[in-house]
Amino acid sequence: MASPHGHQPSAISSAAAAAAPAPGPCLGAEDAGLLQDFLEFGQDWGWSWQPGSALRILGRIAREDPLLVAAAATLSLAPDAAEAPAGIDPAAWATAAGLISAGNSFIGLIARLPCPNGEIRWVSLSGRAVAGGYRGIGRDITAQKAADLKQTIVQQAAAVLARFDSVTEALPVLLATIGGLADWRRAWSWQCQGGQLLSTEGWNVEINDPAPPALVRNAAVTIRTLRPAWVEDRSGKPPYTALLVPFGDVEDGGAVAFTSDDLRSRDPTLLAMAESVGQFLTQAHRRQRVEETLRQTTAQQAAILKSPIAGIAFLAGGVYQWVNPRFASMFGYRPEELVGQPIALLALNEDAIKQTMRDFRAAVTRGHIYESETQMRCKDGRPIWVYRTAAPLKPRDLSGGTVWMTLDITDRRELEESLYTATAQKEAILQNSMTGIAFVVGNTVRWINRRGREMFGFAQQDVRDGDVSRVFVTNGEFVSAWQAINESLAAGATYERELKLRRKDGTEFWVQVSGSAVNPQDLRQGTVWALSDIDARKHLEERLSRSLAEQEIILRSTVVGISYTVNRRTVWVNQRFADMLGFTREELIDQSSRIHFPSQQAWQEFGDIAYPQLVRGEACSLEVAYQHRDGRLVWCEAYGCAVDPHDLSQGAIWTIQDITDRRAAEEELRQALAKQKELNELKSRFVSMTSHEFRTPLATILSSAELLRHYGDRLPGEERAELLEQIESGVGRMSEMLDQVLIIGRADADRLEFSTAPIDLAEFFQRLFDELRIKFKRRETVPKLELQLPPPGRPAVLDGKLLHHILDNLLSNAIKYSPNGGTVRIVVELNDDSALFEVADEGIGIPPEDIGRLFETFYRAPNVGNISGTGLGLAIVKKAVTLHGGTVAVQSELGRGTRFTVKLPLPPAATEGTDRLPQAAEQPPRLSI
């Protein structure tokens, strides 16, 4: 094995060593510049070393390659050191150190420098001694070194592998060679059998220390993937990069691993090379395996015993002494199950054994080979056909045992038998066929089967060579038919027709004939005819079509719709059915019934419900919405039953009745009930609301009154005043609620009056604001009210009372639900045909999901919190607006405010002049409270 670093000592030039010490050169300025340029632009660099300090690199490289600088700093060049510096081959160092000590210069000292990042650099140093140290020129030869090594590895590997046939022999040499050539530090190999990774045992590898566990794991993976791979383990001690080369396969193979401490040496060419090494190893390994196997048996034995076809058994004393696997498997056994068993085990019966032994002895005695086709019994009792030959081991002597060769011929026998049966059957079929079959050449019958003869009432002797024209009713018919037949057959087509033909006794009957030519190009070779007596069918058809016509008339004239469907396609409908759905009969017939269903889904669902019942033979009754041709739904009661429940392909009969009116009446009733239920709920909500809303102010009134009566003399004046005020406001609240309840009650009973009159808006709002001021006087925070009226001159012709309800409620709400004050803006606009009232607050707003129910009686959004209310105000607004024929709209944003817009229609402007009212001011008045 080569030195661990793989350097050749010859790297040191002995020629240079012999040179005399160079005198200090005198450099001119130009030369000095040149030297400067050389160090600045060349690949080489200068270096210097002083004892006790690190190797220093000079020139461009010193700036550009800090890794090299760091790596070089580890190198000591003291010539008197006991050992060679790390990274330099000892032999090379011995030579160089000798030169240095003698004051001579040295050339091409190769050093291996580990970089801080794990990379390995190779440098070549040349230099000489100066003033206690050395200096000289260096060059980084890493790339060249790698290329050289690669080249050498491939060559050496090929050389080694060529020398050995067996991988067992080649592997250690290969490992040693490659390990020595490249910068590998370690090498291992594993064997693998049956997917199990074995140790390196059996492989003569020099390195015996255990491989890192991570590497072993990766080797196992590599063997499974069968691809060479780089593995890196930076946590390993020492850290390493490994090249894993698998060979063989997981059942029988292995892997070789080379590790290096150069953590960057992942060269793709090396990987490609590893792949070809692996392939070679695989081939060598397989060859070796086969050789080993063959070595254990003789060629002859192997050839016979491995025969995959013939079963071989060795018999002695009527017992199986040895059988090959094929023999055993033929009968469903394993070889060891048969050995020691009597021959009776596989024989069909005792007689078969006796017969066999008799025949076998006879053959042996005459010196013949015994040969037979016979049946034997398998392990599962099934008989199989075998072909056997047998011979005694000693000529003509059965006592020394016999050898039996057996072939399974069951398949062949079965094939033969079916062939025989088929041939025999053909004649039987032709003769006994329910179809008449005839072979005709020219217009002469050459052969006709029994059925054919019976059909026409001929005896066998009547027919042979009889003239075809005899079976036609008239000669004229024969001539025209025969011409058509010949034309059709000559064109290569089958002639197929229902013909009225004549029996021997002269009676006429219907026959379906179909004929084809043996060879259409040459009709003289004959024609083959199939004949069916369809007389009965013909008569039946005629009868059927008559009765169908009668039934059709009946079905057409019924008042129920009837349809006959097969596989959900309409085969027939009566007129009534078509009329009910607005189609013509032609539009429905031969179409999917889907066309009179409103959707694919409805059609599907109908089928899913109906057909299981039909299959069970039950009549099926369903209410179904069909779709009229004009798109509307027609509710029908459909009643269906299968023609034959066991065979739905025969179709189903449906009768339908229009029940749209009945459905509508039912629906009306349902809605009335729902309405009633809703009213009941409303009533109960009303009772519980009134109970709470009346009892609460009553509690205030009663407790205030009692306090005044019993303790009035003890209470200060302002408290007494407050109690009185509470009584007043409680009473006010109750009467207001009573008013609202009464209004709603009247509105619900349609007894709310509606009569319009011109309204002075300024005066109206002045009064409304006064009322609100009293109503909310106890409230701490009241929003500012801003009113914007249209220019005076045009009166609003509306119902004053209802308008009061509308605006009182909207403004009360705006004030109530603005707990932080802000401004409530009221804008009134009068247009040609409508009055617009807009009330916008900056209050708590209404949740979007509640806006839809806002105008329902007693409905209050959940964000009202402590603010009291009846849930009637907006219901009243809605009623009052509706009575005007107007609209009310809401826009709201939670926490930002709410805007109600009421639009009330005004009577035509023609009445304007007479309704004009005197106005106090010309400017639109702005009021506030």
Partner 1 sequence: MAHILVIEDEAPIRSNLRRFLEILGHQVFEAPNGRVGIEVATRELPALILCDLMMPELDGFGVLQALRAQPATAEIPLIFLTASAEKETIARGIELGALAYVTKPFTLQGLRDALTQGLRPN
By CB under 8 A, tell whether 402 contacts partner 1.
no
Q: How far is the CB of 699 from partner 1 (least distance, A)?
A: 4
730 touches partner 1 by CB under 8 A: yes
Residues 588-627 that bind partner 1 (CB under 8 A): none
Q: Does 702 bind partner 1 (CB under 8 A)?
A: yes
In the complex, minimum distance from the CB of residue 927 to partner 1, in angstroms, rounded to a whole number: 30
Q: Which is nearer to partner 1, 727 or 761 (CB)?
A: 727
| Choice from 715, 782, 851, 890 touching partner 1 (CB under 8 A) | 715
Site string for partner 1, 656-695 (x = CB under 8 A): --------------------------------x--xx--x
* 296 token code pair: 């254990």
Strands 796-798 vs 311-316: parallel, antiparallel or unpaired:
unpaired
Q: Is 868 in the site for partner 1 (CB under 8 A)?
A: yes
710: contact with partner 1 by CB under 8 A = yes
In this structure, the dihedral spanned by the alpha carbons of residues 227, 233, 236 and 239, taken in order and rounded to 10 degrees, is: 110
In total, the chain counts a number of residues equal to: 929
728 counts as binding partner 1 under rule CB under 8 A: no
> Smallest gap, in angstroms, from Cβ of residue 874 to partner 1?
18
Using CB under 8 A as the binding rule, the residues of this chain from 260 to 279 that contact partner 1 are none
Coil, strand, or helix at residue 627? strand
CA–CA dist 688, 848 (Å, integer): 27
Closest distance of CB 723 from partner 1, Å: 8
Q: Is 726 in the site for partner 1 (CB under 8 A)?
A: yes
Nearer to partner 1, 607 or 712 (CB): 712
CB-CB contact of 573 with 584 (8 Å) = no
Position 713 contacts partner 1 (CB under 8 A):
no
Concatenating the DSSP letter of every residue in 437-453 gives EEEEETTEEEEE-HHHH
Rounded-to-integer distance, Cα 515 and Cα 440, Å: 10
Per CB under 8 A, does 820 bind partner 1? no
CB of 688 to partner 1, least distance (A): 7
CA distances, 467 to each of 164, 445, 451, 652, 902 (Å): 91, 6, 18, 50, 106
> Based on CB atoms, which residue is closest to partner 1, 65 or 719?
719
**700 part of the interface to partner 1, by CB under 8 A:** yes
Under rule CB under 8 A, residue 111 binds partner 1: no
What are the E-state strand segments in 342-467? Answer: 370-377, 383-394, 397-408, 436-441, 444-448, 466-467
Q: Does residue 570 touch partner 1 according to CB under 8 A?
A: no
Judged by CB under 8 A, does residue 701 bind partner 1?
yes
The SS3 call for residue 308 is coil
**Range 747-777 burial, b when 16+ CB lie within 10 A, else e:** beeeebeeebebbbbbebbeebbeebeebbe
Residues 14-73 that bind partner 1 (CB under 8 A): none
Instruction: Check residue 717 for interaction with partner 1 (CB under 8 A).
Output: no
Q: For partner 1, give the closer residue by CB, 393 or 731.
A: 731
Query: Residue 915 interacts with partner 1 (CB under 8 A)?
Result: no
Considering the complex, state which of residue 306 and residue 695 has its C-beta at the smaller distance from partner 1.
695
User: Measured from the CB atom, is 646 or 710 closer to partner 1?
Assistant: 710
Q: Which of 856, 853, 851 is nearest to 875 (CA)?
A: 856
Does 871 help bind partner 1 (rule: CB under 8 A)?
A: no
Token pair listed for 37: 């340029």
Closest C-alpha among 437, 440, 486 to residue 465: 440
Instruction: List, as own/partner pairs, every contact residues 135-138 make where C-beta atoms lie below 8 angstroms and the sequence separation is at least 24, other chains included.
Output: 135/46, 135/47, 135/48, 135/49, 136/46, 136/47, 136/105, 137/44, 137/45, 137/46, 137/47, 138/44, 138/45, 138/46, 138/47, 138/57, 138/72
**Helix or strand or coil: residue 229?**
strand
Return the closest-CA partner of residue 115 out of 324, 6, 223, 261: 261
**Is 707 among the residues that bind partner 1 (CB under 8 A)?**
yes
The backbone region for 169, taken as left when phi is positive above 0, alpha when psi lies in -120 to 50, beta otherwise, is alpha
Q: Closest distance between partner 1 and the C-beta of residue 815, in Å?
A: 17
In the set 167, 723, 824, 854, which binds partner 1 (CB under 8 A)? Answer: 723
For residue 872 the two structure tokens come to: 């009637």
Quick one: 129 or 701, whose CB is closer to partner 1? 701
Residue 668 beta carbon to partner 1: minimum distance, rounded to whole angstroms: 35
Binding residues for partner 1 (CB under 8 A): 688, 691-692, 695-696, 698-704, 706-707, 710-711, 714-715, 719, 722-723, 726, 729-730, 864-866, 868
